[in-house]
Amino acid sequence: MKRFKLFGVVTILSLMIAACGTNEEKNNGSSNEGNLVPVKAELSVPEKVDKGDTVVFETVVTQGDEKVEDASEVKYEVWMEGKKKDSKMIKSEQKVDGLYTAEYKFTNDGQYQVQVHVTAREMHTMPKATVAVGNVENGGHAHDEGDDHPHEEKGNEHSHEESSVLIHFMKPDDVKVAKETKLITHVTKNDTSLSKAQVRFEIWQDGSEKHEWVTTEEMKPGEYTGTYSFSEKGEYHVQVHVENDEGVHEHTMEMITVE
């Protein structure tokens, strides 16, 4: 009888341990496993093209062995060497199997940088490539006239041109007066998320001398978030400042329209 009771107790304890193990797997297992696998972007651009050529940029986005077809944002930034502040942003079109493409027409000779900005599954990556156009030695500055850039946006989203630190400010849509607005920026260094940085937003209305500062919290590696309520309608400057203890000191500026 005692043996039977002892066997029963052991059996119950075994079942309890197994149940705890199952619950732990549910909490720490496959449901979160995908979040631990980084999203990668494989950028493909030609190394050399002729002036006037229309080029197709291609990026395959993956997470582990899975092709990512639900990226929240994939767009290409193009600029001539030495002219980062005049960069162009081009929206991509999604094809199949995680492939995102865009077309761009190079109308001037020179050395160009092409960088794809990928935001997918709450992660961000920004690989970059170089394209030599026509007579690279002559170089020259790119002009807007005559360019054929479908879905093009002008961009000023990043830091100093030759720096390895890149700042990608997620410009909010439909900003309303007196409504708390979430401000998000991604920061990378050498194509890797830059963590433990001091990131602040400096905000002021166009034409005003009053500047306000918003501190941020790092929600995930390289992603910094703050909130701000705009008191009046109009155009506002939002300057992102990034610093850390290793000597990084970068900034970039955007304009936000408040309605």
Show Cβ contacts of residue 6 under 8 Å, excluding neighbours closer than 6 positions: none
Cα radius of gyration (the chain): 24
**Distances from the Cα of 119 to the Cαs of 34, 168, 224, in angstroms?**
15, 10, 14
Distance of alpha carbon 68 from alpha carbon 56, whole angstroms? 20
Is pLDDT above 70 for 31? no
Q: What DSSP character marks residue 175?
A: B
For domain 39-154, the question of CATH label 2.30.30.100 is answered with no
- Share of residues in the chain with pLDDT > 90 (%): 48
Q: What is the mean pLDDT of residues 33-60?
A: 85
Check if the beta carbon of residue 157 is closer than 8 Å to that of residue 255.
Answer: no
User: 179-205 pLDDT, tens per residue?
Assistant: 999 999 999 988 889 999 999 999 998
Is pLDDT above 70 for 132? yes
pLDDT score at 30: 38
pLDDT score at 206: 81
Residue with tokens 């990512």: 68
Q: What DSSP character marks residue 108?
A: S
Distance of alpha carbon 224 from alpha carbon 239, whole angstroms? 14
Name the band, by pLDDT with cuts 50, 70 and 90, for residue 29.
very low
> Where is 211: in which H helix or E strand?
none
Q: Which two tokens stand for residue 69?
A: 């077809």
Name the band, by pLDDT with cuts 50, 70 and 90, for residue 121.
confident
pLDDT score at 1: 52
Q: Which two tokens stand for residue 249?
A: 């000191």
Show Cβ contacts of residue 254 under 8 Å, excluding neighbours closer than 6 positions: 156, 157, 169, 171, 237, 238, 239, 240
Q: What values do phi and psi take at 117, rounded to 5?
A: -110, 115
Q: Nearest-CA neighbor of 79 among 152, 150, 151?
A: 152
Say which CATH superfamily domain 165-258 falls into.
Answer: SOR catalytic domain (2.60.40.730)
Q: What is the mean pLDDT of residues 44-71?
A: 93
pLDDT score at 209: 80
Give me the residue spans of the domains in the chain: 39-154, 165-258
Q: Nearest-CA neighbor of 46 among 36, 35, 54, 37?
A: 54
Cα four-point dihedral sign 237, 212, 221, 122: negative
Q: Nearest-CA neighbor of 122 among 67, 199, 180, 68?
A: 68
pLDDT score at 48: 93
- Choose the weakest-confidence range: 77-81, 111-115, 122-126: 122-126
Q: What DSSP character marks residue 235?
A: E
The length of the chain is 259
Check if the beta carbon of residue 113 is closer than 8 Å to that of residue 126.
Answer: no
Q: What DSSP character marks residue 85?
A: G
Q: What is the mean pLDDT of residues 76-103?
A: 89
- Are the folds of 39-154 and 165-258 the same? yes
